[in-house]
Amino acid sequence: MIHSYGRCQCCGERLYENVSGGYRCPNCRTDYAADVLESRLP
């Protein structure tokens, strides 16, 4: 089951887990690497 993770930097849509281990915005289809997003967390 996928779950939301953070927000897209481009459009603000919620990101969802990608099977490849990263995250994807379902709105603009931007892919994010998991390590990149983790570095942005407080």
| Distance between CA atoms of residues 6 and 15, nearest Å | 6
Max alpha carbon distance in the chain (Å)?
25
Using CB under 5 A, which residues numbered 2 to 41 contact Zn ion?
8, 10-11, 13, 25, 27-28, 30
The nearest distance, CB 33 to Zn ion, in angstroms, is: 15
The CA R_g of the chain, rounded to the nearest whole Å, is 9
Of 28 and 38, CB closest to Zn ion = 28
> Hunting for tokens 């931007």 — which residue is that?
30
Of 11 and 33, CB closest to Zn ion = 11
Q: Residue numbers of the site for Zn ion (CB under 5 A)?
A: 8, 10-11, 13, 25, 27-28, 30
